[in-house]
Amino acid sequence: MFYFDSDYLEGADERVLRALVESNDEQTAGYGEDEYCQKAAALIRDMTKAPEAAVHFMIGGTQANLTVIAAALKPWEGVLCADTGHINVHETGAIEATGHKVLALPGCVGKLSAEQVAEALRSHREDSTHEHMVKPNLVYISHPTEMGTLYTRPELEALSNLCRTNGLWLYLDGARLGYGLAAELSVDLPLLARCCDAFTIGGTKAGLLFGEAIVLTAIELQDCFRYAMKQRGGMLAKGRLLGVQFETLLKDGYYLEACGRANSYAQRIKGAWLAMGFPLLCDTIANQVFPILPNGIIDRLRKKYSFAHWLQVDKSHAAVRFCASCTTREEAVQTLINDIMAL
Amino acid sequence: MFYFDSDYLEGADERVLRALVESNDEQTAGYGEDEYCQKAAALIRDMTKAPEAAVHFMIGGTQANLTVIAAALKPWEGVLCADTGHINVHETGAIEATGHKVLALPGCVGKLSAEQVAEALRSHREDSTHEHMVKPNLVYISHPTEMGTLYTRPELEALSNLCRTNGLWLYLDGARLGYGLAAELSVDLPLLARCCDAFTIGGTKAGLLFGEAIVLTAIELQDCFRYAMKQRGGMLAKGRLLGVQFETLLKDGYYLEACGRANSYAQRIKGAWLAMGFPLLCDTIANQVFPILPNGIIDRLRKKYSFAHWLQVDKSHAAVRFCASCTTREEAVQTLINDIMAL
Amino acid sequence: MFYFDSDYLEGADERVLRALVESNDEQTAGYGEDEYCQKAAALIRDMTKAPEAAVHFMIGGTQANLTVIAAALKPWEGVLCADTGHINVHETGAIEATGHKVLALPGCVGKLSAEQVAEALRSHREDSTHEHMVKPNLVYISHPTEMGTLYTRPELEALSNLCRTNGLWLYLDGARLGYGLAAELSVDLPLLARCCDAFTIGGTKAGLLFGEAIVLTAIELQDCFRYAMKQRGGMLAKGRLLGVQFETLLKDGYYLEACGRANSYAQRIKGAWLAMGFPLLCDTIANQVFPILPNGIIDRLRKKYSFAHWLQVDKSHAAVRFCASCTTREEAVQTLINDIMAL
Amino acid sequence: MFYFDSDYLEGADERVLRALVESNDEQTAGYGEDEYCQKAAALIRDMTKAPEAAVHFMIGGTQANLTVIAAALKPWEGVLCADTGHINVHETGAIEATGHKVLALPGCVGKLSAEQVAEALRSHREDSTHEHMVKPNLVYISHPTEMGTLYTRPELEALSNLCRTNGLWLYLDGARLGYGLAAELSVDLPLLARCCDAFTIGGTKAGLLFGEAIVLTAIELQDCFRYAMKQRGGMLAKGRLLGVQFETLLKDGYYLEACGRANSYAQRIKGAWLAMGFPLLCDTIANQVFPILPNGIIDRLRKKYSFAHWLQVDKSHAAVRFCASCTTREEAVQTLINDIMAL
């Protein structure tokens, strides 16, 4: 069986695994106060050209999202988010469990526009009963989005300007960030650091055993963040595991190289589907592909491949998702492509 | 520098590390729904003689504690706990962040007795304003405690009977459970499974990279627990990492063997302190030792050893903690002992 | 200026006020443990033909909603609700502040149907990632709805059957219940008690200074509810004020009589608008009327009348709301009608 | 039966009741945006000599406490409080339900000293694991305390200086403030406004049907407070009831006059107990008296009087509480005194 369900099917990228093995017997301070974490944080500050940023490492995306958002908001404040946003759909109400409403807006293929955020703010302010409604105070976006789409540089800048002008935080969930950065070069880490008050650099889906780096560029969000991490159960005792992995992943351009390879695998798979005349749910240029297939073909493929059911389009067709990742092997990709072309 | 600060200074036990490396390239389902997790859970059900227990795996102790406790309680219910309890002191209010008050009782060297829990319940019930007070509905104990002490079999059974009779949950935090089990054989896993409604088997402090196994013996606590894990940010994407590690740690008696070795290291260190005439803060038989030392000796030792300051006893003396763990090397222990004996 | 903005513009109905004055100097136990509260509760159990129901009194609707819902749900459970539902829009995220997601479904003129609830449940269950999503476990409806519409007896029974079959709680927010009961006689208190697990009987909008009666028919929701009230700040020290008012309002059929009078006022106002050819946003038969008016007429009316802006229909027209209440005077209604007919 | 249990046994002071009756038929805006609330707020700003203060009105003390504290703190911050503090004991964990730990310190007859707060802060900061502990960021005191004792002017000023220097909020719960102000003239409203960042002026226990005025002197706490009130279910629909009552209570020196009368009743009762040779649990100069009585006398008195059991001192003696209030009648006091003197 070949798995294309998601980008977290295997363990770690071999280089990352080797670094873990090699550092295994060293003794270091716990809870992220070791030299590996310090070096990885310094590397990230360097790569993002944000020398004042605070960088922390947590295990997973839900944990990172809920910790940042709960730390940023007052109790009556809520999060603007595309209706498909991970925090709105697939985190079992983790944000609400910290007391905050997620204010979903209809996304455009997973994205929010500055215009619709502006309209939401205007509508809140002009309503004479606005004190009876949750006050929007943070914009959550993901890049790539849950639909695999990407923000452009002007779109991000427009969101950022709007948030700054209106006193909202802009937070970007980068669970799959590497794939996005490798696919759309005009959106790079320094741009994210300038546009966002906080964002994550996802490791779990890019070849780490686990780990998300949290970059807090807004000074006001930096104070006491380690208290916040500990309170939410997100401070890893053997914290250096995160530092070791992130340093290995990020140094010497390896992150973009590995993610770029996954993107090219996904694009080859996309090409095969298009060549065979199957439509896409939405076009994507990173590591996820969403062809719309007849039920019969889906059933046949499932005997040899595992992939995600995404959306039942009609009785006889569904959109499905194929993911490539940093740990996907070329052989599996080629086998899939051969089978697609032979359908 | 030799580190005896805690039991999470190194990476993984070598056997565990090897298992992670060997399984690294396999593709499995995510989020703990893989075969490794299933096998580890089956092994735990077997070792605890609790075939009906639900077993889950989470990353860390704070996460496990807050998830279990928040899942078990109604909003107005609180947790009875020794004042030294980890949840009361060292989790940055993680339990309160889920809405529940920790009701601290004065511990006896870290332990709660059935009598004092009974008295707390009686006092709550007899107060005519009890509806204005938090209702105690869960007893939290740790074994070993934060002071390194251990419950006896009769003490655990008395607490269990009291809780059952009064409709309270009994939850045991086993962050250092292996060391306790190896030191006090009358308290074994089947006893814990019979006495407790939920308990954890700590892995982080016993040679795993990370991981706590949660054993839910009470049927009422089992329903929907995976929702609870996900909501608290505690469902690991590459969940099989937990299964691989726990299976390796627990099978073939390795857990008790490795923890027993650490205990014997700690007891040899304790012996050296006693031989040199230094008193102990409290006597312990597992992997932690708490000598009371003059400041001068502490300062001298710090040049070569790292260990935890525990309690300033008076101006010129402090209790300090030396921990041995599954990954402690005998050479380090012997060096320390030589230096103690030469003081 | 004549006010038709809402149903809480004046103080109390004169009969209610007199009862407060007459009982003012009596000394009673506090926190709702007085005879007035007991008598009012007994009266409600009698009127609802629910001898086993627990009845409590709280100050306001938001407080009642958040206390009942937080008491009923486990942390990972959410509330199904029409998108226009008061808890979804106008309570500043009070439900989320207790940790629970409100799962909004598109309402049909403010109402939820059993069919759409069934579909939401089916969709949750069939999704293989449902543990990553909030579990729907309570259905919130209001009667009359926020749009002034009413459930029919078959609609309520269908919702109730569906909830019972699927293990969900059905909770009805009766902030304006009296107006609904007076307008739609087939939906009466015994029906509500049979169909719902919990519901409120609104007093604030029906001539009390303040007060909502909470009727808990499900035995499982009754335990420890007073703890829940106290914890949420909702236990009134001089609790008998609620008992005195509710007893006065409810006895001898006064509730329906007073609400029915308000309904007839509102219907006369509605008739005037219809007679003059203005359309309604939606037809209503209780105490709220929603005509769609040109901006010019709205501006003219505002010089003499106060009423609520509801919805901007297009650039030159808006839906507005006129409310009558138990304390509305006929003279004000007649003046308004005369002015409408003279437009 | 004569009731001396508490200061909330009757309805309203007659002047307050009359004001409610006289304003009953007026139509005003809801939710506290009426002229009565504005006038009462202006009066309070004037009496406290705090022209920049924000003043809001809520129903009860638990509600006020939880709303202010949750609005002031970040998630990982906690409240320092005497162990006898109302929020620590008698609010069913309302503060914890908003996510914050109450950090109880041993009170000195109900009071906290600046020294012990300073020591708590020092101890937190110097602990190398302080990020694993709740950060103290607000000091909660009550005046009079739950033991009936009062802060002196220098004690309050010392607490205030300490809090300002260390960046903590100082919040004073004034549930019985009037009795304190009338008993200890050196602590007046302007002093409270200068010393505290927020405090309440209790109405419920001083002759109102209900109501606590919240005075927010710190600018940073003022923003969006009405959102906070609404979210916690604490915004009264007919909000003007609070304004009407507070204006009546506070104007023309009536508050201190009425509370002073209650104090003198209590002091006459205290004098009778002392004259008969019974000791006091603690000396008090405001409206509460705590004699220590033999069980036999308690039982005899209970046939004619209702009063609160406070503390079982030994098998045969208990401390009990007698409260006088603004609505206590002199006749009842004299009857009690006669009976005490005849014991």
Pairing of strands D169-173, D198-202: parallel
Q: Which residues contact B107 (CB under 8 A, 6 or more apart)?
A: B82, B83, B84, B85, B145, B147
Measure CB to CB from residue D101 to each of B90, B96, B132 and give the nearest one: B96
Q: Tell me which residues of chain D, numbers 290 to 309, contact chain B at a CB-CB cutoff of 8 Å.
A: 309
Q: Which residues contact C76 (CB under 8 A, 6 or more apart)?
A: A92, A93, A97, B224, B227, B228, B230, B231, C134, C135
pLDDT at B30 over 90: yes
Say what the ipTM of the complex is: 0.96
- Cα–Cα dist A341/C59, whole Å: 68
Total-model pTM:
0.97
Measure CB to CB from residue B96 to each of D96, D128, D131 and give the nearest one: D96
Is B210–A236 a contact, with Cβ atoms under 8 angstroms apart?
Answer: yes
Q: Tell me which residues of chain D, numbers 135 to 154, contact chain A at a CB-CB cutoff of 8 Å.
A: 135
User: CA quadruple B289, B290, B292, B294: dihedral positive or negative?
Assistant: positive
pLDDT at D327 over 90: no
Share of chain C above pLDDT 70, in %: 100
Angle at B317 (CA atoms; ends B311, B320), nearest 5 degrees: 45
In tens, the pLDDT along D251-290 reads: 999 999 999 999 999 999 999 999 999 999 999 999 999 9
Tokens 């500050």, residue located: A45
Query: Which amino acid is present at C250?
Result: L
Q: Tell me which residues of chain C, numbers 232 to 271, contact chain A at a CB-CB cutoff of 8 Å.
A: none
Query: Which amino acid is present at C48?
Result: T
Share of chain B above pLDDT 70, in %: 100
The mean per-residue pLDDT over the stretch B160-184 comes to 97
Is C93–A100 a contact, with Cβ atoms under 8 angstroms apart?
Answer: yes
Query: Distance between alpha carbon D323 and the CA centroid of its chain, in Å?
Result: 14
- Cα–Cα dist D175/D146, whole Å: 10
Q: Look at residue C140 in the predicted model and tell me its pLDDT.
A: 98
Residue B75 Cα, gap to closest chain D Cα (Å): 7
In tens, the pLDDT along C289-343 reads: 999 999 999 999 999 999 999 988 999 999 999 999 988 999 999 999 999 999 9
- Cα–Cα dist A201/B294, whole Å: 47
Q: Which residues pair with B293 in a beta bridge?
A: B318
The overall average pLDDT reported for chain B is 96
pLDDT at A322 over 90: yes
Residue among D136, B225, C317, D334 nearest A224 (CA): D136
The 10 Å CB-count burial string (b at 16+, else e) for B133-162 is bbbbbbbbbbbbbbbbbbbeeebbebbbeb
In tens, the pLDDT along A246-274 reads: 999 999 999 999 999 999 999 999 999 99
Pairing of strands A305-306, A2-3: parallel
Is B25–A10 a contact, with Cβ atoms under 8 angstroms apart?
Answer: yes
State the pLDDT confidence band at C174, using cuts at 50, 70 and 90: very high
Is A70–D70 a contact, with Cβ atoms under 8 angstroms apart?
Answer: no
Measure CB to CB from residue C9 to each of D6, D10, D27 and give the nearest one: D27
Q: Look at residue D1 in the predicted model and tell me its pLDDT.
A: 85
A3 touches chain B (CB under 8 A): yes
Tokens representing residue A48 in the block = 């993002």
What burial class does residue B310 get, using C-beta atoms within 10 Å of its C-beta: 0-12 exposed, 13-18 middle, 19+ buried?
Answer: middle
Q: Which residues of C touch D23 (CB under 8 A)?
A: 11
In tens, the pLDDT along A300-316 reads: 999 999 999 998 899 99
Q: Give the residue on B whose Cα is nearest the Cα of C226.
A: B131
- Per DSSP, the residues of C62-103 read HHHHHHHHHHH--TTEEEEEETT-HHHHSSTTHHHHTT--EE
- Per DSSP, the residues of C114-161 read HHHHHHHHHHHHH-TTGGGSPEEEEEEEESS-TTS----HHHHHHHHH
- Give the C-alpha distances (Å, rounded to integers) separating C237 from C230, D7, D266: 10, 10, 21
Q: Look at residue B7 in the predicted model and tell me its pLDDT.
A: 87
Q: Which of C66, C119, C122, C134 to mutate to test the interface with A (most CBs of A within 10 A)?
A: C134
Measure CB to CB from residue C75 to each of A90, A97, A129 and give the nearest one: A97
Tokens 């954890």, residue located: B200
What burial class does residue A59 get, using C-beta atoms within 10 Å of its C-beta: 0-12 exposed, 13-18 middle, 19+ buried?
Answer: buried
